[in-house]
Structures are given as structure tokens and as C-alpha cells.
Amino acid sequence: MTLKLIVSKDLPTDLDQIRLPKHVAIIMDGNGRWAKLRGLPRMMGHQRGVDTLKDLLRCCRDWRIPALTAYAFSTENWGRPLEEVKFLMTLFERVLRRELREMMEENVRISFVGNLEVLPPSLQLEINRSMNDTQDNTGIQFTVATNYGGRQEIIQACQTIAIQVQKGLLTPEEINESLFERYLYTSGITHPDLLIRTSGEMRISNFLLWQLAYAEIYVTQTLWPDFNREEFYKALLAYQQRERRFGKV
Ligand code: IPE
Ligand code: IPE
Ligand code: MG
């Protein structure tokens, strides 16, 4: 397999189109370390990370992977220095405004998961605009987890369900897995088959706790800004070598 082939639009020949994941989730980690290694401020790492995500999204489209979910900001990331948090919020807003036209042209359907109501109003505006404008697109389903926490997501689902029960609209016996899923932010999106985490950490950091129950996990040492098509190819190859048993023998 030559590099030329790998970075091209065509699926590398040693990947099996039929057995590609239908949904890839990604923890984009290592922006800060990438910048530090180069003597740059952490913000530069975040900025470069945007280009990486854009290319991964295109790669998923080229290789016909129907859904991609990216972890952009966790409920715990508010604990970072104010300057960094502000930079990230402004970056998200700027990128959304800048990329909307291209997302329309490329038929991307973008949606956001997380507690969006507490985000800066100007960012919420861009989020709503991009979701509304792209909702009828039929291409890749691109989900961005912003102010997302798996525990928070489960709690808010429980609260909403409890209110339904209190109102007499639902009985406790009716609560099962498929009903519960309808109250998650990810309602209607298939569970990820593959979780990729960059920069070496072996944890899920409160990402999609419910949805990742049976995802295959792939961790690479590569820092997020350096994650390219070749790295993605390696992750997919590893995925196709796994045996998914789902508790069976
Ligand atoms: C991930 O990169 C991006 C966000 C969490 C927003 P980090 O900023 O966590 O980078 P490291 O882990 O410090 O290198
Ligand atoms: C996870 O990365 C969150 C995002 C990528 C948005 P973190 O850098 O925040 O995770 P920890 O702190 O290493 O667990
Ligand atoms: Mg990190």
C-alpha cells in the first residue's frame, strides 16, 4: 500500500467497504501537547485541530462512512484557564460561520450534542443556524459534542423521564433501553462502532458513556493535529481485524 493510495479519495484496497464502521466517534486529544512541542501557545494546537477535523470529515465522506461524532468540548473543560475556554468558544463560532457554505455544498448534516443552553448566545446562534440549514442534507451525519458530558446526558434524560412519570404520561414499567435512548442527546443516531482517541490516553473522559457500550476502542499516540488519512486508515485496518462478539461466543 503506497502512501499515495492511502491519502487518495479511494478507499485503500486492503479495507473492506462492507465491514467499515457505520459510525466513528473521535476524542480529539493532544492539541496542547502538539503546540507545546513546537514552542507555540496551546491555542495554535486547537486552531490546527480544526483543519484535521475538516479533513477527517471529508475522508469519511470519500470512504463512505455515514456518521462521524467528534468531541469538541467536555463539561469538564470549563475547568481550563478562562483564556483558553474563551478562545475555544470563539473558535467554534468562527469555524461554524466560515464552514457553513461548504457544508451545504458537500451535503453535510451537522448536529450538536451536549448542554447547549449555557454556551455563549452568539455561538448558540451559529449552532442553530447550521443545524437548521443542513437538516435536510443527505450526506454524512456529522455530530459535534460541545459542552458534552456522558453523565450529564444520562441525568438530564432521567429528569425528563421522571417528569413524564410524575405527569402520568409514562409508567416506570415502560422505561426500557429503547425508551431511554430516545431521551439522550443522540436520539436517532446509531451507536458508534469505533472510538478513536488520539495522543495516547487510555480513557473515555466522560464521552458517550451509554453509546460506547460495545464500541471498539482504538488509541493512537499521534497527536490530534497530526492525525491524517493515513492514521485513519490504520485505525480502520485495526478495527477490521477485531472480532466483535457482543457478549456471545
Ligand atoms: C483536546 O486537546 C482539545 C480539547 C479538549 C478542546 P487538549 O487541549 O486536551 O490537548 P492536551 O491534552 O493538553 O495535549
Ligand atoms: C477530552 O480531552 C475532551 C475533548 C477532547 C473535548 P481532555 O484532554 O479534556 O481529557 P482528559 O482531561 O485528558 O481526560
Ligand atoms: Mg487533553
The catalytic residues are: 29, 77
| Residue at 14 is within a domain | no
Distance 248 CA to ligand 3 centre (A): 35
Query: Could you list the residue range(s) of the whole structural domain that residue 120 is in?
Result: 23-149+191-240
Give per-residue pLDDT as tens, 174-183.
Answer: 999 999 999 9
- How confident is the model at residue 6, as a pLDDT? 54
Q: CB under 6 Å to ligand 2: residues?
A: 27-29, 71-74, 77, 201, 203, 205
* Residue 162: inside a domain: no
For 228-237, the pLDDT digits (tens) are 999 999 999 9
Q: Is residue 199 part of a domain?
A: yes
- Give me the CATH number covering residue 37: 3.40.1180.10
In this structure, is residue 42 part of a structural domain?
yes
Q: How far apart are CA 50 and CA 20, in angstroms?
A: 24
Query: Does residue 90 lie in a domain region?
Result: yes
What is the residue whose three cell numbers read 451507536?
Answer: 191
Mean pLDDT of the chain: 96
Nearest to 29 by CA among 17, 46, 43: 46
For residue 33, the ligand 1 atom closest to its alpha carbon is 14
pTM of structure: 0.96
Asked if residue 246 is part of any domain, the answer here is no
If one counts the domains in the chain, the total is 1
The pLDDT score that the predictor gives to residue 7 is: 63
